[in-house]
Amino acid sequence: MSINPQERDEVEVMKIVMKIEAVKRIQIENVEHNKGEEALQKLDHPNVVKLYHIESDIDFRYYALEFCQASLDQKFLDDKKERKYRGPMPSEEEVCLQLAKGLAHIHEKKFIHRDLKPENVLIWVDSTGEKVLMKWSGFGLSKQVNERGCYSISGMRGTHNWYSPEILKIFLEEEENDGKTTSPDIRQRGTVKSDVFTAGLVFGYYLLGGDHPFGSAINVLPNIFKNEPVNLPRGEEALQTLNHPNVVKLYDVENDYNFRFYALELCQLSLHQLFNGDEVQKKYQEKMPPDEEVFHQLAEGLAHIHRMQLIHRDLKPHNVLIWVDSTGEKVFMKWADFGLSKQVNESGSHSISEVRGTRNWLSPEILKIFEKKGNDVKTTLRPRGTVKSDVFTAGLVFGYYLLDGDHPFGSGYKILPNIVKNKPVNMPKIKDPSMHAIIMEMLKANPNERISSADVVSRINSLIKFHTAEDSSLIDCIEDSMKKLLESSIESHRTAATYVKVSNNYILKI
């Protein structure tokens, strides 16, 4: 069946309308200043918003763009706001990876965006709600760059609080000189590295639950200029605050133009590697202290973290490091990786903007928050978490150790449902009744009924003292028995000697 040209055009228009449903318009006099059209026509990537069609009339130029459900900033609006995005999201790693791929494509095509910010990150969701893509948009300030990623700078471009430090320096220089820069070389050349910095701000904003990495609105620009990302280095701040033999040590921090370097205490392996590493790592099982000592060290370290008003939020076997001295006789267990740690108040609680931690190593109360968000439950109150979540996940780690690398709540996809249902299916395999009892106290589903990290230390101390006293009593008993046996043996020898003497005398008489 043939289709005439008019019908074909109508079909094409219908296809476009079905795919888009998002139209942006710009006044004709501003079109020549809008660089987004050129960029979007050349860019083709799943993590860059698509431009499908362009039309003009006397007053406006219309852009038919790919329809997306929301922008990233809408995810962190107050729950009362109707515009708040409550839909599905990929994992944190996947969000950052998608955006990184999109930005790399933009730079590969020899463009710089120049206005990366949460409002210019769009969230696209397919009809099933299962596929979610993050897309860079807002290319109105984009510009072509040369082979080295450089371009000429004729004026400030971007959005307040979302500038790179090199662009800020130009801005400050112009202000000090009434718009005339004293460094024309700096003003004339910029690079795509400015995009990398502002993309880092967006990543940080997302991972911080909607907070700017460089602080409150009034302090952002000064902090960027001073290179003080006050909201970002939680792990660094925690390690600088903590000083305990059962917490990994931070020795030094240094920067260069591109990276921040951390000099940390060297440990031989992680608890995860003890059971899942190579043969050399598994041999460390022979060097481990008694079970009670392993738990005592980890309990002391966690109690110290909580005393310093911090919550770790990512306790798991990968984040327990094992330090062994050169003789192999001295072994220390150390909590590590404080990248998700957070300050808590005097009562040990903190606000929760997003679920933090590692799958299969989450407490039931955190899993319930995750479940509510997934079910689009609206609430005007931001949920609060407590350090008791750390106690639960520490209990998982303790159980994992006693179970030789098995999770207390089972394996694979069954772990999370079992945590929610409070079914620690592998715990009966633990033979030590005393340690089993302590861990079960740590794994109570209700955080209000769960013991504190200080209580865990106290319970293990009592257990060690009991066993020490038990061992001491046993030694005393053995020593007493040996003494009696020795005395009995001496008396027997005396009796035997007397008998021999009497017998000899009798023989002599004969």
- Which of 59-63, 97-101, 281-285 has the highest average model confidence (pLDDT)? 97-101
**Residue 497 pLDDT greater than 60, yes or no:** no
Nearest C-alpha neighbor of 209 from the set 344, 313, 75, 100? 75
Check: CB of residue 61 under 8 Å from CB of residue 54.
yes
* Predicted pLDDT of residue 18: 42
May I ask the CATH class of domain 235-462? mainly alpha
**Residue 393 pLDDT greater than 50, yes or no:** yes
What gap in Å lies between CA 60 and CA 16, rounded to an integer? 19
Domain ranges of the chain: 70-231, 235-462
The chain-wide mean pLDDT, for the chain, equals 84
Distances (CA, A) of 70 to 37, 39, 123, 126, 466: 21, 22, 5, 13, 60
* Predicted pLDDT of residue 501: 54
Task: List, in order, residues 6 or more apart from 314 with CB less than 8 Å away.
Answer: 337, 339, 340, 341, 356, 357, 358, 361
**Residue 3 pLDDT greater than 60, yes or no:** no
Angle between helices 388-402 and 433-442 (to 10 degrees): 150
What gap in Å lies between CA 169 and CA 227, rounded to an integer? 12
Task: List, in order, residues 6 or more apart from 1 with CB less than 8 Å away.
Answer: none
Task: List, in order, residues 6 or more apart from 149 with CB less than 8 Å away.
Answer: 107, 110, 112, 191, 192, 193
Mean pLDDT of all residues in 312-317: 96
Instruction: Give me the sign of the Cα torsion angle 275, 276, 280, 281.
Output: negative
pLDDT band at 104, cuts 50/70/90? very high
Write the DSSP assignment of 172-189 as a string of letters: HHHHHTTT--S-HHHHHE
pLDDT tens, residue by residue, 115-162: 999 999 999 999 998 999 999 999 989 999 999 999 888 777 889 899
Mean pLDDT of all residues in 437-445: 97
* Predicted pLDDT of residue 386: 93
pLDDT tens, residue by residue, 327-337: 888 999 999 99
Q: 295: which DSSP letter?
A: H
Q: Give me 354's structure tokens.
A: 């997003």
* Predicted pLDDT of residue 57: 86
Angle between helices 193-207 and 92-108 (to 10 degrees): 170
* Predicted pLDDT of residue 227: 81
What gap in Å lies between CA 314 and CA 390, rounded to an integer? 8
81-85 own/partner pairs: CB under 8 Å, 24+ apart: 85/123
* Predicted pLDDT of residue 85: 95
pLDDT band at 505, cuts 50/70/90? low
pLDDT band at 493, cuts 50/70/90? low
pTM of the predicted structure, to 2 decimals: 0.55
Mean pLDDT of all residues in 53-82: 90
**Residue 380 pLDDT greater than 60, yes or no:** no
Q: Select the CATH number that applies to the domain covering 70-231 from these four: 1.10.357.10, 3.20.20.60, 1.20.1250.20, 1.10.510.10.
A: 1.10.510.10
* Predicted pLDDT of residue 507: 44
pLDDT tens, residue by residue, 206-252: 988 899 999 888 989 988 888 888 776 567 777 788 899 999 998 88
Q: Residue 417 carries which side chain, given as an amino acid letter?
A: P
pLDDT band at 462, cuts 50/70/90? very high
The percentage of residues in the chain with a pLDDT greater than 70, rounded to a whole number, is 79
What gap in Å lies between CA 268 and CA 277, rounded to an integer? 12
Check: CB of residue 97 under 8 Å from CB of residue 91.
no
Distances (CA, A) of 21 to 13, 51, 67, 356: 12, 12, 6, 35
Mean pLDDT of all residues in 13-40: 64
Helix (H) or strand (E) holding 440: helix 433-442
pLDDT tens, residue by residue, 265-276: 999 999 999 999
